[in-house]
Amino acid sequence: MKKTLLSFLVAALALTTFATSARADVTLPKCFGDNAVLQRDKPICVWGWADAGEEVTVTFAGTTAKATAGEDGAWKVYLPAQPASFEARDLVVEGKNKVAFSNVLVGEVWICSGQSNMEQPLNSWGQPRLSCTEAEINGDFSFVRFNRAHHVIKSEEQKDFATNGWRVCKDGVQKDCTACGFHFAVRLNKELNVPVGLIDSNWGGSNINSWIPDAGWNEVPETVEVGKKLLAARDGAKDWDKCGGMYNAMLAPWKNYSIRGAIWYQGCSNAGEREFYYCKQKAMIREWREVFGQGDFPFYWVQLASFTDAQDDPNNTGDWPYLRRGQQMCLEVANTGQAVIIDAGEAKDIHPRNKWIVGNRLAVWALAHTFNKDVDCASPIAAKADFADGKATVTFDFVGSGLVVGKLNDREFSAVDGKLARFAVAGKDGKFVWADAQIVGKNQVVVSAESVAEPTAVRYAWQMNPDGANLYSAEGLPAAPFEIVK
């Protein structure tokens, strides 16, 4: 009898263990968690996994939606759009088990991606910083939350990613947040009075190839063959060189999450490709918009800052001016914008420390074009040059209330008396010399040099580090570098 009873208990225990192991708890990707921010004014997509056929109920802010897990265990629901709210509420998901995420807000959600200049945290990796004040790094900015992806590369799209979850920017936690994104978020909050969530997904030194989804190479004719070669070589490549690898592991898991837009700071690792970068960035923007399925969402990027020692010879340009031109060419893509920061670089550090200016120049693009605020956002851009009478007369678009000679000092801009610098002209021989330049009227600069009788080309800030370049709009936005040839 004792032996029979013991056998029964062992069998019962085995069945219980099997039943427990066979049951799959409802789970969600790490896009969701305590302290998350959900996108306002858009249907809220919530998804995850459970047992096939299991009914799942999702509740948030007094609304409920249900779904049944498919054969693969996947489920997805859409909750009604919600207005922005600072109220800390629970997001509850129930199936055979219950998952509850607390302190969830509703506001603006933005992707912050690229290489080290987007990754650089508010504490500048412990270096002397201009990125923030002591009040900013230790204060209470609970309305800003960030979810930073760990560095992982995969050859195929992942359903989930590695992270420490959503973190609240207070009590020094923000020291680990993308500095560009933090200042961007603080400015949005100041103007819009809404919480801001940052999808903090970036990797220092990364090539744009790593952020382009596989299908993206077919978005632009010029990148089709490039993509075929990169994809064919991916399996044999080192992890670092795998095209699409960072997108697959660090961004693809977010593609169902409702967002407002993206800010992007990358390009140093592609500088040798010069203007061809335009084709790759355009392909990436188009495919991100496709996979996120939220239309032509706003995409704003940072043009490369100044770097390396300034050169006395105007013909010594390096690759970066051409890469910057490639970035600027992407303005032809709908709903995009470019923050020019040639005045905020560091000769000895590829990481500009003044991330406040970067975040704010990105933010004004969002405020003007995404939220219809009356703020100037676009830097002056050379539209054309007329060559006559020994001079080049350059006409600019986006000059605000007019062109000025200016100076940036940390966070403060001022118009100053002085001469324009870093203009150059060349004759038919193609050799550039430094030139005199004068602002004429609201939107023109006249450029000439005694040694060039008949200019056929004109440049401004056309070097890796155009130190001293000082043409601005009166609103404090630096003119973009340019080269115009007759």
59-83 confidence digits (pLDDT tens)? 999 999 999 999 999 999 999 999 9
* Sole residue written with tokens 């056309």: 462
pLDDT in the model for residue 214 = 96
Instruction: Give the residue among 56, 37, 39, 35 at the shortest CA–CA distance from 47.
Output: 56
Structural domains for the chain: 37-104 (2.60.40), 111-370 (3.40.50.1110), 381-485 (no CATH)
The predicted pLDDT at position 62 comes to 96
Q: What is the DSSP string of 237-253?
A: S-GGG-TTHHIIIIIGG
Res 23: pLDDT? 53
Distances 160 to 34, 48, 112, 291, 367 between C-alpha atoms, Å = 16, 10, 18, 16, 32
Give the model's pLDDT for residue 128: 61
pTM (two decimals): 0.94
Q: What is the pLDDT at residue 421? A: 98
Q: Give me the pLDDT at residue 20, please.
A: 39
What pLDDT, on a 0 to 100 scale, did the predictor assign at position 130? Answer: 66
Residues 207-241 have pLDDT tens digits of 999 999 999 999 999 999 999 999 999 888 777 67
The residues near 126 (Cβ < 8 Å, ≥ 6 apart) are none
Residues of the chain short of pLDDT 70, as ranges, are 1-23, 128-130, 240
Residue at token pair 């949005």: 188
Return the structure tokens found at 466.
Answer: 């155009």
Residue 410 identity (one-letter amino acid): D
